[in-house]
A and B are shown apart, each in its own frame.
Chain A
Protein backbone atom coordinates (compact mmCIF):
# COMPACT_ATOMS: atom_id res chain seq x y z
CA UNK A 1 0.00 0.00 0.00
CA UNK A 2 1.28 3.43 -0.93
CA UNK A 3 1.42 6.10 1.73
CA UNK A 4 1.54 9.72 0.71
CA UNK A 5 4.27 11.83 2.26
CA UNK A 6 2.92 14.26 4.82
CA UNK A 7 2.80 17.86 3.64
CA UNK A 8 4.28 19.11 0.40
CA UNK A 9 2.34 19.24 -2.82
CA UNK A 10 1.94 15.53 -3.13
CA UNK A 11 -1.82 15.30 -3.14
CA UNK A 12 -2.79 11.68 -3.35
CA UNK A 13 -6.05 9.87 -2.77
CA UNK A 14 -4.54 8.23 0.31
CA UNK A 15 -3.55 11.60 1.69
CA UNK A 16 -6.94 13.13 1.14
CA UNK A 17 -8.55 10.08 2.62
CA UNK A 18 -6.47 10.21 5.77
CA UNK A 19 -7.11 13.90 6.19
CA UNK A 20 -10.82 13.62 5.59
CA UNK A 21 -11.20 10.70 7.98
CA UNK A 22 -14.17 11.48 10.11
CA UNK A 23 -14.23 15.10 9.04
CA UNK A 24 -16.01 14.81 5.70
CA UNK A 25 -19.45 14.92 7.26
CA UNK A 26 -18.57 18.16 9.06
CA UNK A 27 -17.39 19.56 5.76
CA UNK A 28 -20.65 18.49 4.21
CA UNK A 29 -22.63 20.17 6.98
CA UNK A 30 -20.64 23.36 6.44
CA UNK A 31 -21.24 23.29 2.69
CA UNK A 32 -24.91 22.70 3.22
CA UNK A 33 -25.17 25.58 5.66
CA UNK A 34 -23.32 27.96 3.34
CA UNK A 35 -25.54 26.89 0.46
CA UNK A 36 -28.75 27.63 2.36
CA UNK A 37 -27.36 30.89 3.76
CA UNK A 38 -26.84 31.97 0.18
CA UNK A 39 -30.11 30.71 -1.28
CA UNK A 40 -32.73 30.71 1.47
CA UNK A 41 -33.89 34.10 2.55
CA UNK A 42 -33.51 34.70 6.29
CA UNK A 43 -31.58 31.48 6.85
CA UNK A 44 -28.41 33.30 7.88
CA UNK A 45 -29.66 34.57 11.21
CA UNK A 46 -29.15 33.55 14.83
CA UNK A 47 -32.87 32.98 15.10
CA UNK A 48 -32.87 30.25 12.49
CA UNK A 49 -30.14 28.48 14.44
CA UNK A 50 -32.46 28.52 17.44
CA UNK A 51 -35.34 27.26 15.36
CA UNK A 52 -33.14 24.51 13.99
CA UNK A 53 -32.44 23.29 17.51
CA UNK A 54 -35.97 23.89 18.76
CA UNK A 55 -37.70 21.91 16.01
CA UNK A 56 -34.99 19.27 16.06
CA UNK A 57 -35.22 18.33 19.75
CA UNK A 58 -37.29 15.19 19.15
CA UNK A 59 -35.04 13.94 16.38
CA UNK A 60 -31.96 14.61 18.53
CA UNK A 61 -33.41 12.51 21.33
CA UNK A 62 -34.61 9.72 19.05
CA UNK A 63 -31.27 9.57 17.26
CA UNK A 64 -29.40 9.20 20.55
CA UNK A 65 -31.85 6.46 21.56
CA UNK A 66 -31.22 4.72 18.26
CA UNK A 67 -27.46 5.22 18.60
CA UNK A 68 -27.20 3.14 21.77
CA UNK A 69 -29.23 0.34 20.20
CA UNK A 70 -27.30 0.45 16.92
CA UNK A 71 -23.95 0.31 18.74
CA UNK A 72 -25.04 -3.01 20.26
CA UNK A 73 -25.74 -4.22 16.73
CA UNK A 74 -29.52 -3.97 17.06
CA UNK A 75 -32.21 -1.66 15.75
CA UNK A 76 -35.22 -0.05 17.41
CA UNK A 77 -38.11 0.51 15.02
CA UNK A 78 -40.51 1.39 17.82
CA UNK A 79 -39.06 4.76 18.88
CA UNK A 80 -41.39 6.79 16.65
CA UNK A 81 -44.55 5.23 18.00
CA UNK A 82 -43.24 5.19 21.57
CA UNK A 83 -42.90 8.95 21.05
CA UNK A 84 -46.54 9.13 19.97
CA UNK A 85 -47.65 6.92 22.87
CA UNK A 86 -45.74 9.09 25.36
CA UNK A 87 -47.12 12.31 23.89
CA UNK A 88 -50.64 11.01 24.49
CA UNK A 89 -49.88 9.76 28.01
CA UNK A 90 -48.29 13.10 28.90
CA UNK A 91 -51.22 15.08 27.53
CA UNK A 92 -53.84 12.88 29.18
CA UNK A 93 -52.15 12.68 32.59
CA UNK A 94 -51.19 16.35 32.84
CA UNK A 95 -54.57 17.63 31.67
CA UNK A 96 -56.35 15.08 33.87
CA UNK A 97 -54.42 16.15 36.94
CA UNK A 98 -54.90 19.82 36.16
CA UNK A 99 -58.63 19.31 35.70
CA UNK A 100 -58.77 17.49 39.03
CA UNK A 101 -57.50 20.62 40.72
CA UNK A 102 -53.79 19.88 41.05
CA UNK A 103 -51.67 23.05 40.77
CA UNK A 104 -50.39 23.29 37.16
CA UNK A 105 -46.70 22.95 38.04
CA UNK A 106 -47.29 19.85 40.13
CA UNK A 107 -49.45 18.42 37.33
CA UNK A 108 -46.70 18.94 34.77
CA UNK A 109 -43.99 17.43 36.99
CA UNK A 110 -46.13 14.46 38.00
CA UNK A 111 -47.28 13.96 34.42
CA UNK A 112 -43.69 13.99 33.19
CA UNK A 113 -42.71 11.41 35.78
CA UNK A 114 -45.64 9.13 34.88
CA UNK A 115 -44.84 9.47 31.17
CA UNK A 116 -41.21 8.49 31.60
CA UNK A 117 -42.15 5.62 33.91
CA UNK A 118 -44.74 4.23 31.51
CA UNK A 119 -42.28 4.85 28.71
CA UNK A 120 -39.99 2.30 30.30
CA UNK A 121 -42.45 -0.51 29.66
CA UNK A 122 -42.08 -0.83 25.86
CA UNK A 123 -38.31 -0.79 26.25
CA UNK A 124 -38.30 -3.44 28.96
CA UNK A 125 -40.48 -5.71 26.82
CA UNK A 126 -38.25 -5.08 23.78
CA UNK A 127 -35.15 -5.78 25.79
CA UNK A 128 -36.61 -8.92 27.33
CA UNK A 129 -37.60 -10.25 23.91
CA UNK A 130 -34.24 -9.45 22.36
CA UNK A 131 -31.91 -10.37 25.20
CA UNK A 132 -33.68 -13.26 26.90
CA UNK A 133 -35.85 -14.83 24.19
CA UNK A 134 -33.47 -14.27 21.30
CA UNK A 135 -36.07 -12.55 19.10
CA UNK A 136 -34.33 -10.53 16.35
CA UNK A 137 -34.41 -6.81 17.29
CA UNK A 138 -36.15 -5.96 14.03
CA UNK A 139 -39.10 -8.23 14.84
CA UNK A 140 -39.28 -7.47 18.56
CA UNK A 141 -39.30 -3.71 18.08
CA UNK A 142 -41.64 -3.87 15.11
CA UNK A 143 -44.09 -5.78 17.29
CA UNK A 144 -43.72 -3.08 19.91
CA UNK A 145 -44.34 -0.45 17.23
CA UNK A 146 -47.67 -2.14 16.47
CA UNK A 147 -48.57 -2.51 20.11
CA UNK A 148 -47.75 1.13 20.91
CA UNK A 149 -49.72 2.25 17.87
CA UNK A 150 -52.74 0.20 18.91
CA UNK A 151 -52.65 1.26 22.55
CA UNK A 152 -52.21 4.92 21.55
CA UNK A 153 -55.22 4.85 19.25
CA UNK A 154 -57.29 3.17 21.95
CA UNK A 155 -56.28 5.78 24.51
CA UNK A 156 -56.79 8.73 22.27
CA UNK A 157 -60.24 7.96 20.86
CA UNK A 158 -59.87 10.64 18.21
CA UNK A 159 -57.10 12.31 16.30
CA UNK A 160 -55.51 14.47 18.99
CA UNK A 161 -55.23 14.36 22.75
CA UNK A 162 -55.62 17.91 24.00
CA UNK A 163 -56.48 20.05 27.01
CA UNK A 164 -53.05 20.79 28.49
CA UNK A 165 -52.94 23.68 30.99
CA UNK A 166 -51.42 26.97 29.89
CA UNK A 167 -48.31 26.39 31.93
CA UNK A 168 -47.44 23.35 29.80
CA UNK A 169 -47.44 25.48 26.67
CA UNK A 170 -45.38 28.14 28.46
CA UNK A 171 -42.77 25.58 29.36
CA UNK A 172 -42.83 23.96 25.95
CA UNK A 173 -42.19 27.12 24.01
CA UNK A 174 -40.43 28.94 26.84
CA UNK A 175 -36.95 30.44 26.56
CA UNK A 176 -34.13 30.59 29.03
CA UNK A 177 -33.47 34.29 28.61
CA UNK A 178 -35.50 37.23 27.37
CA UNK A 179 -33.94 40.57 26.45
CA UNK A 180 -36.01 43.68 25.96
CA UNK A 181 -34.75 47.08 24.85
CA UNK A 182 -33.37 49.26 27.62
CA UNK A 183 -31.40 46.61 29.45
CA UNK A 184 -34.47 44.75 30.67
CA UNK A 185 -33.83 41.05 30.94
CA UNK A 186 -35.52 38.15 32.63
CA UNK A 187 -35.01 34.44 32.96
CA UNK A 188 -37.74 31.88 32.11
CA UNK A 189 -40.60 34.40 32.08
CA UNK A 190 -41.35 36.79 29.29
CA UNK A 191 -40.96 40.31 30.66
CA UNK A 192 -44.01 42.56 30.77
CA UNK A 193 -43.42 45.07 28.03
CA UNK A 194 -45.58 47.33 25.93
CA UNK A 195 -47.24 45.68 22.97
CA UNK A 196 -45.16 46.01 19.89
CA UNK A 197 -41.75 46.13 21.54
CA UNK A 198 -39.36 43.58 20.16
CA UNK A 199 -38.20 41.08 22.78
CA UNK A 200 -35.16 38.98 21.97
CA UNK A 201 -35.84 35.40 23.03
CA UNK A 202 -32.82 33.22 23.60
CA UNK A 203 -32.28 29.48 24.11
CA UNK A 204 -35.50 27.45 24.13
CA UNK A 205 -36.01 25.53 27.38
CA UNK A 206 -36.62 22.25 25.55
CA UNK A 207 -33.23 22.58 23.89
CA UNK A 208 -31.63 23.04 27.30
CA UNK A 209 -33.42 19.93 28.55
CA UNK A 210 -32.25 17.88 25.57
CA UNK A 211 -28.71 19.25 25.84
CA UNK A 212 -28.43 18.23 29.49
CA UNK A 213 -29.77 14.73 28.87
CA UNK A 214 -27.63 14.19 25.78
CA UNK A 215 -24.57 15.58 27.55
CA UNK A 216 -24.97 13.08 30.37
CA UNK A 217 -25.47 10.23 27.91
CA UNK A 218 -22.41 11.27 25.91
CA UNK A 219 -20.39 11.06 29.09
CA UNK A 220 -21.87 7.68 29.98
CA UNK A 221 -21.16 6.28 26.54
CA UNK A 222 -17.62 7.61 26.24
CA UNK A 223 -16.32 7.38 29.77
CA UNK A 224 -18.30 4.98 31.91
CA UNK A 225 -18.38 1.24 32.29
CA UNK A 226 -21.89 1.03 30.84
CA UNK A 227 -20.69 2.70 27.64
CA UNK A 228 -17.67 0.42 27.36
CA UNK A 229 -19.94 -2.59 27.72
CA UNK A 230 -22.28 -1.29 25.02
CA UNK A 231 -19.39 -1.01 22.55
CA UNK A 232 -18.02 -4.40 23.60
CA UNK A 233 -21.37 -6.13 23.00
CA UNK A 234 -21.66 -4.57 19.56
CA UNK A 235 -18.06 -5.29 18.66
CA UNK A 236 -18.13 -8.96 19.46
CA UNK A 237 -20.86 -10.45 21.56
CA UNK A 238 -19.06 -13.71 22.28
CA UNK A 239 -15.96 -11.91 23.40
CA UNK A 240 -18.08 -9.64 25.60
CA UNK A 241 -19.68 -12.69 27.20
CA UNK A 242 -16.29 -14.30 27.83
CA UNK A 243 -15.01 -11.05 29.30
CA UNK A 244 -17.70 -11.39 31.93
CA UNK A 245 -19.97 -8.60 30.73
CA UNK A 246 -23.60 -9.23 31.70
CA UNK A 247 -24.65 -9.04 28.05
CA UNK A 248 -28.33 -9.79 28.55
CA UNK A 249 -28.81 -7.28 31.33
CA UNK A 250 -26.95 -4.60 29.36
CA UNK A 251 -29.10 -5.22 26.30
CA UNK A 252 -32.24 -4.95 28.41
CA UNK A 253 -30.95 -1.66 29.80
CA UNK A 254 -30.09 -0.33 26.33
CA UNK A 255 -33.58 -1.00 24.98
CA UNK A 256 -35.11 0.48 28.14
CA UNK A 257 -32.93 3.58 27.73
CA UNK A 258 -33.96 3.88 24.10
CA UNK A 259 -37.61 3.76 25.01
CA UNK A 260 -37.24 6.26 27.88
CA UNK A 261 -35.49 8.69 25.53
CA UNK A 262 -38.28 8.25 23.02
CA UNK A 263 -40.78 8.96 25.81
CA UNK A 264 -38.85 12.08 26.74
CA UNK A 265 -39.13 13.11 23.10
CA UNK A 266 -42.87 12.44 23.35
CA UNK A 267 -43.11 14.62 26.45
CA UNK A 268 -41.24 17.38 24.63
CA UNK A 269 -43.62 16.99 21.69
CA UNK A 270 -46.65 17.29 23.98
CA UNK A 271 -45.29 20.42 25.66
CA UNK A 272 -44.20 22.01 22.39
CA UNK A 273 -47.31 21.40 20.36
CA UNK A 274 -49.74 21.27 23.32
CA UNK A 275 -51.24 18.03 22.06
CA UNK A 276 -50.58 14.32 21.71
CA UNK A 277 -50.91 12.22 18.57
CA UNK A 278 -50.47 8.49 17.90
CA UNK A 279 -48.41 8.98 14.76
CA UNK A 280 -46.51 12.03 16.03
CA UNK A 281 -43.20 10.28 15.41
CA UNK A 282 -44.17 8.08 12.47
CA UNK A 283 -41.99 9.88 9.95
CA UNK A 284 -39.05 10.19 12.38
CA UNK A 285 -37.93 6.60 11.85
CA UNK A 286 -35.96 7.54 8.74
CA UNK A 287 -34.56 10.70 10.35
CA UNK A 288 -33.35 9.02 13.52
CA UNK A 289 -31.70 6.04 11.84
CA UNK A 290 -30.29 8.24 9.07
CA UNK A 291 -28.76 10.63 11.61
CA UNK A 292 -26.92 7.76 13.31
CA UNK A 293 -25.70 6.28 10.05
CA UNK A 294 -24.66 9.66 8.59
CA UNK A 295 -22.73 10.06 11.83
CA UNK A 296 -20.63 7.09 10.80
CA UNK A 297 -22.01 4.29 12.95
CA UNK A 298 -22.10 0.79 11.54
CA UNK A 299 -25.30 -1.24 11.14
CA UNK A 300 -23.38 -4.22 12.49
CA UNK A 301 -22.63 -2.54 15.77
CA UNK A 302 -19.52 -1.58 17.71
CA UNK A 303 -19.12 1.96 16.42
CA UNK A 304 -20.74 5.39 16.63
CA UNK A 305 -20.45 8.36 18.94
CA UNK A 306 -22.87 10.89 20.37
CA UNK A 307 -20.99 13.84 18.84
CA UNK A 308 -21.02 12.48 15.33
CA UNK A 309 -24.65 11.46 15.65
CA UNK A 310 -25.47 15.05 16.58
CA UNK A 311 -23.67 16.19 13.44
CA UNK A 312 -25.84 13.71 11.53
CA UNK A 313 -28.93 15.25 13.15
CA UNK A 314 -27.75 18.73 12.16
CA UNK A 315 -27.21 17.65 8.56
CA UNK A 316 -30.85 16.59 8.43
CA UNK A 317 -32.06 19.57 10.46
CA UNK A 318 -30.29 22.16 8.29
CA UNK A 319 -31.64 20.44 5.21
CA UNK A 320 -35.17 20.46 6.55
CA UNK A 321 -35.14 24.07 7.72
CA UNK A 322 -33.26 25.29 4.65
CA UNK A 323 -35.74 23.66 2.29
CA UNK A 324 -38.67 25.06 4.25
CA UNK A 325 -37.20 28.55 4.18
CA UNK A 326 -36.46 28.44 0.47
CA UNK A 327 -40.11 27.59 -0.02
CA UNK A 328 -39.57 24.17 -1.58
CA UNK A 329 -42.18 21.63 -0.57
CA UNK A 330 -40.98 19.45 2.29
CA UNK A 331 -41.33 16.39 0.03
CA UNK A 332 -37.82 17.12 -1.23
CA UNK A 333 -36.54 16.43 2.23
CA UNK A 334 -37.41 12.72 2.10
CA UNK A 335 -35.63 12.32 -1.21
CA UNK A 336 -32.51 14.11 -0.03
CA UNK A 337 -32.34 12.41 3.37
CA UNK A 338 -32.71 9.03 1.67
CA UNK A 339 -29.97 9.85 -0.83
CA UNK A 340 -27.63 11.31 1.79
CA UNK A 341 -28.15 8.26 3.98
CA UNK A 342 -27.01 5.87 1.27
CA UNK A 343 -24.19 8.15 0.10
CA UNK A 344 -22.95 8.59 3.66
CA UNK A 345 -22.60 4.85 4.13
CA UNK A 346 -20.85 4.48 0.77
CA UNK A 347 -18.45 7.36 1.43
CA UNK A 348 -17.73 6.07 4.91
CA UNK A 349 -16.74 2.71 3.48
CA UNK A 350 -14.42 4.27 0.92
CA UNK A 351 -12.78 6.57 3.40
CA UNK A 352 -12.15 3.75 5.79
CA UNK A 353 -10.80 1.75 2.90
CA UNK A 354 -13.28 -1.07 3.24
CA UNK A 355 -14.92 -0.46 -0.09
CA UNK A 356 -13.57 -2.33 -3.01
Chain B
Protein backbone atom coordinates (compact mmCIF):
# COMPACT_ATOMS: atom_id res chain seq x y z
CA UNK B 1 0.00 0.00 0.00
CA UNK B 2 2.72 2.42 1.01
CA UNK B 3 4.64 1.61 -2.13
CA UNK B 4 1.63 2.42 -4.27
CA UNK B 5 1.10 5.79 -2.59
CA UNK B 6 3.34 7.73 -5.01
CA UNK B 7 1.54 6.07 -7.89
CA UNK B 8 -1.81 7.20 -6.52
CA UNK B 9 -0.38 10.66 -6.06
CA UNK B 10 0.73 10.63 -9.67
CA UNK B 11 -2.66 9.39 -10.85
CA UNK B 12 -4.34 12.17 -8.89
CA UNK B 13 -2.19 14.71 -10.74
CA UNK B 14 -2.98 13.03 -14.07
CA UNK B 15 -6.70 13.20 -13.33
CA UNK B 16 -6.43 16.86 -12.32
CA UNK B 17 -4.46 17.63 -15.48
CA UNK B 18 -6.96 15.76 -17.64
CA UNK B 19 -9.83 17.58 -15.98
CA UNK B 20 -8.12 20.89 -16.70
CA UNK B 21 -7.76 20.04 -20.38
CA UNK B 22 -11.35 18.82 -20.60
CA UNK B 23 -12.62 21.94 -18.83
CA UNK B 24 -10.76 24.22 -21.19
CA UNK B 25 -12.11 22.50 -24.27
CA UNK B 26 -15.65 22.91 -22.91
CA UNK B 27 -15.27 26.52 -21.81
CA UNK B 28 -14.08 29.56 -23.64
CA UNK B 29 -11.39 31.13 -21.48
CA UNK B 30 -12.17 34.54 -22.88
CA UNK B 31 -15.89 34.45 -22.26
CA UNK B 32 -16.94 36.43 -19.21
CA UNK B 33 -20.24 35.35 -17.67
CA UNK B 34 -22.59 38.27 -18.14
CA UNK B 35 -24.15 39.68 -14.97
CA UNK B 36 -27.00 40.92 -17.18
CA UNK B 37 -28.40 37.45 -17.83
CA UNK B 38 -32.08 37.18 -16.83
CA UNK B 39 -32.12 40.90 -16.14
CA UNK B 40 -33.86 43.57 -18.20
CA UNK B 41 -31.79 44.70 -21.15
CA UNK B 42 -30.43 48.22 -20.70
CA UNK B 43 -32.46 51.02 -22.22
CA UNK B 44 -31.02 52.25 -25.46
CA UNK B 45 -31.83 54.52 -28.33
CA UNK B 46 -29.72 54.09 -31.42
CA UNK B 47 -30.03 55.23 -35.03
CA UNK B 48 -30.87 52.81 -37.78
CA UNK B 49 -27.90 51.99 -39.96
CA UNK B 50 -29.67 52.70 -43.23
CA UNK B 51 -31.89 55.56 -41.98
CA UNK B 52 -29.69 57.37 -39.45
CA UNK B 53 -32.35 59.98 -38.79
CA UNK B 54 -34.65 57.34 -37.30
CA UNK B 55 -33.83 55.88 -33.92
CA UNK B 56 -34.78 52.55 -32.43
CA UNK B 57 -35.25 52.25 -28.68
CA UNK B 58 -35.66 49.30 -26.38
CA UNK B 59 -39.38 50.11 -26.06
CA UNK B 60 -39.81 49.86 -29.86
CA UNK B 61 -38.64 46.26 -29.76
CA UNK B 62 -40.77 45.06 -26.86
CA UNK B 63 -43.50 42.55 -27.58
CA UNK B 64 -41.50 40.14 -29.72
CA UNK B 65 -38.34 38.27 -28.84
CA UNK B 66 -35.25 39.14 -30.85
CA UNK B 67 -31.66 38.18 -31.27
CA UNK B 68 -29.36 41.16 -30.92
CA UNK B 69 -26.23 40.34 -32.88
CA UNK B 70 -23.24 42.60 -32.29
CA UNK B 71 -21.06 42.76 -35.40
CA UNK B 72 -18.60 45.02 -37.15
CA UNK B 73 -16.86 45.15 -40.49
CA UNK B 74 -13.45 45.16 -38.73
CA UNK B 75 -14.29 41.99 -36.86
CA UNK B 76 -12.68 38.92 -38.40
CA UNK B 77 -14.75 36.35 -36.55
CA UNK B 78 -17.94 38.02 -37.72
CA UNK B 79 -17.06 36.74 -41.17
CA UNK B 80 -17.05 33.25 -39.71
CA UNK B 81 -20.41 33.78 -38.08
CA UNK B 82 -22.13 35.52 -40.96
CA UNK B 83 -22.79 32.52 -43.24
CA UNK B 84 -24.35 30.72 -40.25
CA UNK B 85 -26.67 33.67 -39.61
CA UNK B 86 -27.49 33.87 -43.30
CA UNK B 87 -28.37 30.19 -43.44
CA UNK B 88 -30.16 29.79 -40.13
CA UNK B 89 -31.35 33.30 -39.27
CA UNK B 90 -34.72 33.11 -41.07
CA UNK B 91 -35.63 29.79 -39.47
CA UNK B 92 -34.80 30.83 -35.89
CA UNK B 93 -38.29 32.13 -35.23
CA UNK B 94 -37.11 35.39 -33.71
CA UNK B 95 -36.29 38.77 -35.19
CA UNK B 96 -32.67 39.25 -36.08
CA UNK B 97 -31.43 42.68 -35.02
CA UNK B 98 -27.98 43.65 -36.23
CA UNK B 99 -26.01 45.80 -33.81
CA UNK B 100 -23.25 47.51 -35.73
CA UNK B 101 -20.53 48.16 -33.16
CA UNK B 102 -17.87 50.87 -33.42
CA UNK B 103 -17.96 50.92 -37.15
CA UNK B 104 -18.06 53.58 -39.82
CA UNK B 105 -21.54 53.31 -41.40
CA UNK B 106 -20.01 53.27 -44.88
CA UNK B 107 -17.77 50.32 -43.95
CA UNK B 108 -20.69 48.47 -42.39
CA UNK B 109 -22.87 48.95 -45.47
CA UNK B 110 -20.07 47.82 -47.76
CA UNK B 111 -19.47 44.76 -45.58
CA UNK B 112 -23.18 43.87 -45.63
CA UNK B 113 -23.36 44.36 -49.38
CA UNK B 114 -20.46 41.97 -49.75
CA UNK B 115 -21.46 39.31 -47.24
CA UNK B 116 -25.24 39.59 -47.38
CA UNK B 117 -27.73 41.02 -44.93
CA UNK B 118 -29.56 38.48 -42.76
CA UNK B 119 -30.93 41.13 -40.38
CA UNK B 120 -34.54 42.24 -40.05
CA UNK B 121 -33.37 45.49 -38.52
CA UNK B 122 -30.00 47.20 -38.27
CA UNK B 123 -28.95 49.67 -35.61
CA UNK B 124 -25.62 51.44 -35.37
CA UNK B 125 -23.55 52.29 -32.31
CA UNK B 126 -20.56 54.04 -33.77
CA UNK B 127 -19.19 55.55 -30.52
CA UNK B 128 -19.79 52.30 -28.62
CA UNK B 129 -21.24 53.92 -25.47
CA UNK B 130 -24.47 51.92 -25.45
CA UNK B 131 -22.45 48.74 -25.92
CA UNK B 132 -20.82 49.32 -22.53
CA UNK B 133 -24.29 49.17 -20.95
CA UNK B 134 -24.76 45.79 -22.58
CA UNK B 135 -21.39 44.62 -21.28
CA UNK B 136 -20.11 44.21 -24.82
CA UNK B 137 -16.34 44.03 -25.04
CA UNK B 138 -15.79 42.80 -28.54
CA UNK B 139 -17.54 41.41 -31.55
CA UNK B 140 -19.27 39.16 -32.29
CA UNK B 141 -21.57 38.85 -29.32
CA UNK B 142 -25.22 37.84 -29.36
CA UNK B 143 -28.05 38.51 -26.93
CA UNK B 144 -31.38 36.75 -26.95
CA UNK B 145 -33.93 39.20 -25.57
CA UNK B 146 -37.48 38.12 -24.84
CA UNK B 147 -40.76 39.91 -25.47
CA UNK B 148 -40.57 41.63 -22.08
CA UNK B 149 -37.09 42.95 -22.82
CA UNK B 150 -35.22 40.55 -20.56
CA UNK B 151 -31.87 39.14 -21.67
CA UNK B 152 -32.33 35.38 -21.66
CA UNK B 153 -29.16 34.16 -23.27
CA UNK B 154 -25.81 35.59 -24.28
CA UNK B 155 -23.13 34.17 -26.49
CA UNK B 156 -19.65 35.63 -26.76
CA UNK B 157 -17.82 34.82 -29.97
CA UNK B 158 -19.16 33.59 -33.29
CA UNK B 159 -22.41 31.64 -33.45
CA UNK B 160 -21.20 28.38 -34.97
CA UNK B 161 -23.58 25.64 -36.18
CA UNK B 162 -22.63 23.77 -33.01
CA UNK B 163 -23.59 26.69 -30.75
CA UNK B 164 -26.79 27.14 -32.74
CA UNK B 165 -27.90 23.56 -32.12
CA UNK B 166 -26.68 23.17 -28.56
CA UNK B 167 -27.37 26.59 -27.08
CA UNK B 168 -29.25 29.17 -29.11
CA UNK B 169 -32.08 27.00 -30.43
CA UNK B 170 -32.81 25.43 -27.02
CA UNK B 171 -32.80 28.94 -25.53
CA UNK B 172 -35.30 30.11 -28.17
CA UNK B 173 -37.41 26.99 -27.59
CA UNK B 174 -37.44 27.78 -23.86
CA UNK B 175 -38.66 31.30 -24.67
CA UNK B 176 -41.52 29.99 -26.73
CA UNK B 177 -42.47 27.55 -24.00
CA UNK B 178 -42.61 30.38 -21.46
CA UNK B 179 -44.70 32.67 -23.61
CA UNK B 180 -46.75 30.76 -26.18
| A-B complex is real | no
